[in-house]
Amino acid sequence: MTASPEILPLGRDIDEPVQLNSLGMRITIGVFVAVPLLAVIAAIPVAWGGFLSWVDIALVVVFWTITALGITVGYHRYFTHGSFKANRAVKITLALMGSYALEGSLDQWVADHRKHHKFSDEVGDPHSPWRFGTSRKAVAKGLYYAHVGWFFDDENTSIEKYAPDIAADKDLRALSRYFPAIVVATLLLPALLGGLITWSWLGALTALFWAGFVRVALVHHVTWSINSICHVFGNRPFASRDLSSNVAWLAVPSFGESWHNFHHVDQTSARPGVLRGQLDLSALVIKGLEKTGLANDVRWPSPERIARKLKDPGMARRVPGHDMAR
């Protein structure tokens, strides 16, 4: 069965296998995700000692953490879905952290993502991997489109329609206006630190490459994998209206965003990793903000609500606190 770009596969039972268990599909998905990461890993021993040092690795970890949390906690859970409330200083800090990831201006990011949820895996979804149908060839094409191809579409999501709250905020409007300066800062700041720590121009250059360019590319790749991989491959314990899935091996690099199935069931939840064993680093950060008084009105889903959304009631034992709540 192959659908046209106007007809997505949600007219069928979403639990029906869509050629995902074939060896060819697994190889396609594996290559799609692994090749860019393997290319970076392969470059490490070649560059080590001359064009890569422990300083570069430390700067990659630091800037990856800052910018990835800016996307997950800031752009996504706070600004797009309102999973918690925060004061002005926290708001601006999260917006800056997310902007340093170079995934676009905040207002456009929020608009695109809200439209995605409104039309998830349906006509109108800006980046559904099912856009071209359900055959192996169509899904491979759709994976590329959902991952990066959709950026090259001429049509932009309306900010006025999908993100009027962001557009109306004077602080956030100012950040969007200065986004070109943020682009320069997120690349030059690692270079500046690398140069100062090593006291050399080479240290500045290697930090620019690894903690600047490579770090940005890897953060993008992980974020885009949520749009692509997490709507094709994985498991779906919760009853959602789309093909959002949980992908466990992406949980750590995505800071918990790959527990994507529950996120599409309860968009405003501050914690999509709701079952036992599901590590959600972004939720831990939000919990920390709450305990220090920097976040309030946090939307934590109750054990009863989580259990009700499960397809298999027998899985309720994996919901923390469910037995105590009964």
38 band by pLDDT with thresholds 50, 70 and 90: low
Range of the domain at 198: 9-325
| 7-11, 44-48, 106-110: which is most confident | 106-110
Q: Could you tell me if residue 231 is inside a domain?
A: yes
CA distance 206 to 35: 22
Q: Could you tell me if residue 302 is inside a domain?
A: yes
CA-based R_g, the chain, Å = 20
pLDDT of res. 140: 80
Q: Could you tell me if residue 2 is inside a domain?
A: no
Q: Could you tell me if residue 147 is inside a domain?
A: yes
Q: Distances from the Cα of 73 to the Cαs of 91, 156, 161, 211, in angstroms? A: 11, 24, 23, 21
More confident site: 2 or 267: 267
CA distance 143 to 141: 5
Question: 221, 148 in Cβ contact below 8 A?
Answer: no
Q: What is the mean pLDDT of residues 158-164?
A: 95
Read off the pLDDT of residues 199-257 as tens digits, 9 standing for 90 and up: 999 999 999 989 998 898 889 889 989 998 899 888 999 999 899 999 999 999 999 99
pLDDT of res. 3: 39
Q: Could you tell me if residue 207 is inside a domain?
A: yes
* Lowest-confidence region among 11-20, 22-31, 164-173, 272-281: 11-20
Average pLDDT over the chain, rounded to an integer: 85
pLDDT of res. 246: 95
At which residue do the structure tokens 């919760």 appear?
238
Read off the pLDDT of residues 62-108 as tens digits, 9 standing for 90 and up: 999 999 999 999 999 999 999 999 999 999 999 999 999 988 889 99
Could you tell me the two tokens for 230?
Answer: 């997490």
Q: Could you tell me if residue 81 is inside a domain?
A: yes
Residue 5 forms beta bridges with which residues?
none
Q: Could you tell me if residue 3 is inside a domain?
A: no
309 residue type, one letter: K
Q: How big, in percent rounded to 5, are the helix, strand and coil portions of the chain?
A: 60, 5, 35
pLDDT of res. 298: 97
320 band by pLDDT with thresholds 50, 70 and 90: confident
How many C-beta atoms surround the C-beta of residue 257 within 10 A? 26
Q: Which of 180, 152, 157, 183 is nearest to 80 (CA)?
A: 157
Q: Domain count for the chain, please give it.
A: 1
pLDDT of res. 5: 38
Read off the pLDDT of residues 298-311 as tens digits, 9 standing for 90 and up: 999 999 999 999 99
CA distance 97 to 20: 36
pLDDT of res. 31: 59
More confident site: 130 or 5: 130
Q: Which of 288, 284, 236 is nearest to 264 (CA)?
A: 236
Q: What is the mean pLDDT of residues 36-41?
A: 63
Q: Is pLDDT above 60 for 14?
A: no
Q: Could you tell me if residue 1 is inside a domain?
A: no
* Lowest-confidence region among 33-47, 106-120, 190-204: 33-47
pLDDT of res. 177: 83
CA distance 73 to 67: 10
More confident site: 242 or 321: 242
Q: What is the mean pLDDT of residues 318-325?
A: 70
Q: Is pLDDT above 60 for 324?
A: no
